[in-house]
């Protein structure tokens, strides 16, 4: 029977659940998700995620899968380059203040096209320029693409950690790197 993680009260417990989920994913030993109907019935009454995850929109990086979580377990915010723009911050504030998540995880990934484009000096037009420019400022001193990706993760995490709502609510912000080839999540 599905039960939400309502008993998770601190960030350390939340990180541990995500680490264990990633271990299951790496081993191909996924938790049972065969009863979505009963999960939907329970979750129709409200959500109780144990963490918020800001990650990239890249189709290869679904956090519900690489953290092996069920419906309602994590509150996910996705955008190209996992940037902490006002819309993402508003969503994260909601998760922390109203849903009481103790952890905000910023998860970037290897081979991130948005960060690589920013690191390599791309000058796109339209709204994509806003995304790339935000990432450029985060990774301007990076020696290579991988260090640029990690600098972007750390930059977004630092922005979130300085947010008034995050500080007032006492949420923990942590950065992590998802290797799209191995599937492993490394906490920074």
Q: What digits encode the pLDDT tens for the residues 103-154?
A: 999 999 999 999 999 999 999 999 999 999 999 999 999 999 999 999 999 9
Binned at pLDDT 50, 70 and 90, residue 10 comes out as: very high
Q: Looking at the domain assignment, is residue 143 inside a domain?
A: no
Bridge-based pairing state of the strands 172-178 and 185-187: antiparallel
Q: Looking at the domain assignment, is residue 171 inside a domain?
A: yes
Q: Looking at the domain assignment, is residue 60 inside a domain?
A: yes
Answer yes or no: is pLDDT of 5 > 80.
Answer: no
What is the residue range of 80's domain? 11-113+161-187
Q: Looking at the domain assignment, is residue 126 inside a domain?
A: no
Q: Looking at the domain assignment, is residue 134 inside a domain?
A: no
Q: Looking at the domain assignment, is residue 56 inside a domain?
A: yes
Tell me, what's the pLDDT at 3? 65
Per-residue pLDDT tens over the stretch 57-75: 999 999 999 999 999 999 9
CA-to-CA distance for 113 and 148, rounded, in angstroms?
11
Is 177 in contact with 186 (CB distance < 8 Å)?
yes
Tell me, what's the pLDDT at 144? 97
Q: What is the CATH number of the domain that holds 32?
A: 3.40.1050.10
How far lies 97's CA from each of 19, 53, 144, 158, 165, in Å?
Answer: 24, 15, 37, 18, 7
How many domains, the chain? 1
Answer yes or no: is pLDDT of 23 > 60.
Answer: yes
Tell me, what's the pLDDT at 4? 63
% of the chain beyond a pLDDT of 90: 87
How far lies 25's CA from each of 81, 99, 174, in Å?
Answer: 23, 26, 20
Q: Looking at the domain assignment, is residue 153 inside a domain?
A: no
Q: How many Cβ atoms from other residues are within 10 Å of residue 6's Cβ?
A: 9
Answer yes or no: is pLDDT of 1 > 80.
Answer: no
CA-to-CA distance for 164 and 112, rounded, in angstroms?
29
Q: How many Cβ atoms from other residues are within 10 Å of residue 33's Cβ?
A: 13
The pTM (predicted TM-score) of the whole model is: 0.95
């Amino acid at each position: 029977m599905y039960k939400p993680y309502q008993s998770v009260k601190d960030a350390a417990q939340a990180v541990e659940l995500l680490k264990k989920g990633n271990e299951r994913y790496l081993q191909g030993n996924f938790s049972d998700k065969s009863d979505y109907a009963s999960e939907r019935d329970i979750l129709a009454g409200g959500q109780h995620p144990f963490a918020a995850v800001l990650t990239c929109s890249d189709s290869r990086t679904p956090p519900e899968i690489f953290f092996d979580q069920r419906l309602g377990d994590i509150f996910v915010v996705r955008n190209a380059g996992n940037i902490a723009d006002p819309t993402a911050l508003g969503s994260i504030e909601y998760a922390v203040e109203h849903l009481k998540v103790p952890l905000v995880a910023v998860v970037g990934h290897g081979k991130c096209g948005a960060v690589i484009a920013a690191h390599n000096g791309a000058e796109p037009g339209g709204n994509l320029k806003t995304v790339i420019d935000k990432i450029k400022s985060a990774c301007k001193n990076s020696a290579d693409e991988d260090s640029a990706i990690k600098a972007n993760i750390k930059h977004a995490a630092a922005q979130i950690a300085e947010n008034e709502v995050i500080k007032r609510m006492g949420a923990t912000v942590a950065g992590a790197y998802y290797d799209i080839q191995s599937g492993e999540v490394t906490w920074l």
